[in-house]
Each structure stands twice: as C-alpha cells, then as structure tokens.
Structure 1
Amino acid sequence: MQAVVPAAGEGTRLRPLTEDTPKALIEVAGRPILVHCFERLTELGVEELIVVVGYGGERIVERCGESFDGVPISYVEQEEQRGLAHAIAQAEPRVEGPFFTMNGDNVLRGNLEEVAERFSRDDVDGVLLVDEVSETEARHTGVIDLAADGTVRSIVEKPENPPSRLVTTGFTALPPETIEACQRIEPSGRDEYELADALTLLVEEGARIETVALDGWRVNVNTPADVERAETLL
C-alpha cells in the first residue's frame, strides 16, 4: 500500500522555529517530525510515501530525498493550504489504490498494525485510529459520531457541541474513493475542505468505516510546548 503524508503547513504557532523551516522538518528528539512519520509507516510495509508539500516544500524535498529506508518518496504540491481533504486530493496523480494517511505534524506511538489488520478485512472500507479526549479538546479537532453497530456514522470538524469525545488522530486507512470524495465536497464554514466531510460523504454513500482505539500516545505538534511534550514521551 501507499501512504499519503500531508506536510504543507506553515506552522505559525511554532514561530520562531518555523520562520526558516517548514513545520514538518522541526526536530523532535533529534529527528524531523516527518522522519518520525516515515518510520511508523515503513514499519507497516508501505511501498511508497507520497508527501504533500507546500510551505518550504523545496527544503522538505532536499532533506528527505527520493527514498526513506529503501521506500521511494514522491512529492505533490498543495499550492494553497485549503484543508486536509484538499491536501489529500492533490495526491490523485499518485494514488493507485487503498492508502494510509498520516499527518506530517504528528509524533505517534501505538497500535498502527491493528488498523492495518482491520483494514485487510473484506467487509471494511476504511479504518480510523481514534482517541478519547476531554470535551474541551474535542471542540478543536475531528469528532466521531458512531452508529449503533459501532461503525462511523459521521465526523464533525471542530464542533461547538461534540457528539462524542472520540476524535481522529491523523492516522487512517482509506479506500481509493476517498480522493474523489475529497474533490466533491464543498468548503466548510472555515473555508477549508475537511477530510471529515469527505469521509462522512463516503459513509452516506454506503462505505463501512470502522475505528480502532489508540493504544499508545500521540502529539500533534503545533507549539514549542508540544515539541517538549513529544520529546518527554519519547
């Protein structure tokens, strides 16, 4: 399988660290965040890493090169940062089938293999690695509403009144139809194309998307304090 790694963000909350360095290349424990992502994905046996670049993209290409641990890397550009679904849609020329995604600003340790194993079942179209957080934290990320059978009914991005405290983690296993869904949705109230909306569209059209609870930890690196927390956990 391939893996799409969105890494186009500027990282304004990480300034001054990101004044001359793209967010994905900020070092955590001596290695860029992007390298931490690559390590987890290559452990899953991915056959190609597709990196979505934007701000400072030439620096990412220069730093990461054409392969990581023998796995080829290709690059696609997101000229405008219009949301996660917009970023993933840029990978259309490269994606050839089912794929993983891992946000390029995440440092993650956990049961990714369980997601891959669940995704290999014939009766499953997609799998999301999820985490349970406080209601306050849930208001700032993608929140999952589960159906009675435990499958995903919908995902809401940054809701004022979260339907649950179960949230996305930035790691998913998705069907190829996701790309088209990302292209068909309308911008959200934040004027961004939300992956939550694209996945909800797939569910509404009959896709079965399941969840796997994170057994481990994750840090979405947005601030210098997040860098410190990730290093402590590592």
Structure 2
Amino acid sequence: MKRLLAVPAVLTLALSLAACGDDEPSTGSDGADGVACTYNETGDAAREVDLPPGEATATDKVEVVITTTNGDLRATLNGDTTPCTVNSFLSLAEQGFYDDTPCPRITTTPGFEVLQCGDPSGTTAGGPGYQYEDELSGGETYPAGTLAMANSGPDTQGSQFFIVYGDTQLRPDYTVFGTVDEADLSVIEEIAQDGDDGTNPAGGGAPNTPIGLVSITTD
C-alpha cells in the first residue's frame, strides 16, 4: 500500500509485482452494456486466475458478503463510480482467488486503522498476476467502513484491498470502491483489540488474533 499516510511511519504495501510485460492485455470497448477496462499481465501470480473481462457490466451498486474466519462483513461495491475495480474484484471472487486466504496486516494506531487482505501468499507482497489503473476522483476520503484498493504506486492495483475500521486520514491515492456495513466493523474491531505483532517495517503487522477470508460472494 503506497504512502498510506504516515502516523508512526509510512504505510507502504510492497506488492513486488513486475512491470507490465508483453502479454496482450484484457480490454473491452465502451458500449451500451458496459465500460471498457484494461488489465495488464505482470506474471508472478500468488494464485493463478484468468484476467477479468475487458468490459465491466456491474456498473451499479453491488451487494456482497465478505465471509471471514471471524464473522461476515456485508459490503456495497461502487460499480457506478469504480466499474473496472469492481469488475476485477468480482472476477477474482468468482474464481476463488480470495478463498481461504489470510489477512496479513492490521494497523491499530488511532486515526490509522486498517485491515489489509487479498494476498493468498499472506506476505503483503502477492497479487493476481495483473495490474490496472486507479479510479480516482481526487476527493477520496477514508472514514470507518471504507473499502479501498491497496497499491504500490499509481495505476498498480491488483488484488489487495483494505478495510478502514476507524476514521483514517490518507492522501486521495487509493481507489474507494465500496463500503462495509458499520455494524459489521465490530468483527475487525475485536481483532484490533488484540493488537499486531509489529513486524511490518512500514507500520502494524500480522494480527495477534488471526483473521482470514473464507469467501466473497454476491448477496
């Protein structure tokens, strides 16, 4: 997660993804039924999946259930404002990319409270083998309940995402593609009370009480 505002330190997600290769990207063309998206292969996938469709058809609100080892998180995805991000997220979910994977990082500093998931390797360095562009307005904010994409710099989105469980001040560098129901944030808050192991040099670390993704399904 690139420059996720420094409270004790810069919260940086080292995705360790290669630069875009020569493989043909997945693309689509704008039309009445969807929005064109481009996904560029990078290799080194943490879990092998196909590229998302080159046309995003989920261009409205989408309800999903993020089932974790510690309870369900109901979320609404913003297909209307971030169609290519939602298209990728749903594609990965449908292919089982997120199934049975750990959430390897939590930060517990007040004002800097996020849970990071979406890397099957459990290292915060893995991705889906492709990257794609940010979908930013420049006015992004990150209150509690925000569901946003991690990145390692501009236009390097892949599979990793973070859930904000306490109002957090970040630069508007991270695509906000949904919200988690406020009532369900208690699942994460309980994990946060047990702290983290402090092993991530950019801040936070693995939750002392482990939490992982079981599945992500449309509701």
Q: TM-score range by the shorter chain?
A: under 0.3
